[in-house]
């Protein structure tokens, strides 16, 4: 498995051309309802001589009637005050229903999230907003912890883990504080429709107060919200190409470099993902005569190219493997000489009790799901591994 990528002389490349309803049963709503309802009055009079003094008056108002009126009044008031909005799809929080008592014991709550869908391969940036979030210790997607990027009292930003079995599914997202308590999620969740020019449509999980002063929610519907893993077309195209050609070389289009085809193969998967060739990273095929730039065929040259193009990839060490996702690039230095000797494409990421396991596909030593740990601890003991997180 020892091989070293060596640059090939570089030929000149060819020219390429509604606000939600206030909470039912709130005190202001009940008072308004009581003012608009005519109570049943029972009058009793007792005559004391000619004075005709009223000695007793009793007022009876059915409690159920007030409650019904309060709910009706709240609904009508909300409908009047709400501004006109684009149609919105309702998003229901998931998880067990909480009691109607104020939920402040967990020390915080969630009421807004930037997105509730993401790629199967993980790596989606999600910002969760609310109050009392500085104490958040874990954010779990279907039981798998996300990478916490930043926390503050009002927001937590995470990158999602990969979907279970890399399959389309919907999972519950739960937040726990340092005491292990689950933070509640504000009910009445809606996803606002985005305008064509909007870069990101926010998903609102809160029912805004009609007053300017923030209020602590009186009740919460759940301790989780749902997140849907969906197919990321570019990553799926890249992964599909890698699994189709890890053994069946596409030599007719890209040629093959005997004993050193790993970067040529990795570059092909990046083209399948949607990357465009440029002056420093390219391959050409003229009547069957295939040529490549150094960055297209050499592990060390590719590392230099990626370092010069942060808009395409970000360097990660093995200590940062919790940020590695399917579709990223993995590189190895077999002899700890400082250069890069082998390159592959990440095809699977597993989070287990023993740690994070990463698997890759590659040419030369052809494989579709080889373990990184097997490569650096068994096949090449003492080797170093590096990653490039595709942006």
Whether the pLDDT of residue 98 is over 90: the answer is no
* Range among 82-91, 104-113, 184-193, 281-290 rated most confident: 281-290
343, 299 contact by CB (below 8 A) = yes
Return the pLDDT at 43: 37
Which pLDDT belongs to residue 220?
52
> According to the model, what pLDDT value does residue 121 have?
74
The owner of tokens 């930043």 is: 150
In sequence order, the 6+-apart residues with CB closer than 8 A to the CB of 244 are none
Distance between CA 159 and CA 114 in Å, rounded?
A: 12
Please give the model's pTM, rounded to 2 decimal places: 0.54
Residue 134 structure tokens: 């500085």
pLDDT in tens, 312-364: 999 999 999 988 988 999 999 999 999 999 999 999 888 777 888 999 999 99
Between CA 318 and CA 116 the distance in angstroms is 29
Q: Does residue 151 carry a pLDDT above 90?
A: yes
Average pLDDT over residues 365-385: 96
- Tens of pLDDT, residue by residue over 220-275, are 557 889 999 988 889 989 999 999 999 999 999 999 999 999 999 999 999 999 99
pLDDT for residue 1 is more than 70: no
Find the range with the poorest average confidence among 97-111, 115-129, 155-169.
97-111
Average pLDDT of every residue of the chain: 75
Specify whether the CB–CB gap between 133 and 153 falls below 8 A.
yes
User: Each residue of 176-226: pLDDT tens digit?
Assistant: 999 999 999 886 443 333 333 333 334 444 444 444 444 444 445 578 899
Between 103 and 380, where is the model more confident? 380
Three-state DSSP at 127 gives: strand
CA 303 to CA 263: how far, in whole Å? 10
Assign 117 a pLDDT band (cuts: 50, 70, 90). very high
Distance CA(280)–CA(271), nearest Å, equals: 14
| Mean predicted confidence (pLDDT) in 85-101 | 40
């Amino acid at each position: 498995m020892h091989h070293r990528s060596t640059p090939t002389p570089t030929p000149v490349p060819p020219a390429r051309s509604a606000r939600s309803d206030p909470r039912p049963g709130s005190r202001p709503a009940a008072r308004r309802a009581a003012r608009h309802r005519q109570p049943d009055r029972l009058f009793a009079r007792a005559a004391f001589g000619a004075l005709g003094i009223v000695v007793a008056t009793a007022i009876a108002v059915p409690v159920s009637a007030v409650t019904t009126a309060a709910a009706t009044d709240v609904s009508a008031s909300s409908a009047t005050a709400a501004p006109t909005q684009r149609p919105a799809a309702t998003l229901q929080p998931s998880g067990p229903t909480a009691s109607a008592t104020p939920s402040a014991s967990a020390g915080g709550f969630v009421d807004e999230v930037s997105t509730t869908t993401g790629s199967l391969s993980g790596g989606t940036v999600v910002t969760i907003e609310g109050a009392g979030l500085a104490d958040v210790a874990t954010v779990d997607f279907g039981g798998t912890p996300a990478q916490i990027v930043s926390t503050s009292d009002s927001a937590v930003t995470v990158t999602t883990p990969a979907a279970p079995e890399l399959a389309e599914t919907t999972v519950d997202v739960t937040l726990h504080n340092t005491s292990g308590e689950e933070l509640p999620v504000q009910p009445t969740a809606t996803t606002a429709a985005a305008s064509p020019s909007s870069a990101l449509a926010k998903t609102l999980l809160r029912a805004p107060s009609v007053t300017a002063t923030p209020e602590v929610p009186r009740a919460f519907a759940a301790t989780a919200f749902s997140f849907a893993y969906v197919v990321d077309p570019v990553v799926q195209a890249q992964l599909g190409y890698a699994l189709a050609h890890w053994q069946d070389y596409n030599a007719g289009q890209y040629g093959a470099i005997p004993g050193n085809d790993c970067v040529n193969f990795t570059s092909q998967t990046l083209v399948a993902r949607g990357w465009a060739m440029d002056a420093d990273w390219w391959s050409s095929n003229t009547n069957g005569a295939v040529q490549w730039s150094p960055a297209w065929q050499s592990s060390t040259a590719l590392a230099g190219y990626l370092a010069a193009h942060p808009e395409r990839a970000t360097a990660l060490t093995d200590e940062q493997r919790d940020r590695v996702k399917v579709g990223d690039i993995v590189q190895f230095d077999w002899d700890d000489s400082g250069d890069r000797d082998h390159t592959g494409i990440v095809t699977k990421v597993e989070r287990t009790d023993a740690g994070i396991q990463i698997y890759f596909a590659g040419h030369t030593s052809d494989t579709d799901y080889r373990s990184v740990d097997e490569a650096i601890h068994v096949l090449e003991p003492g080797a170093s591994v590096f990653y490039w997180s595709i942006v």
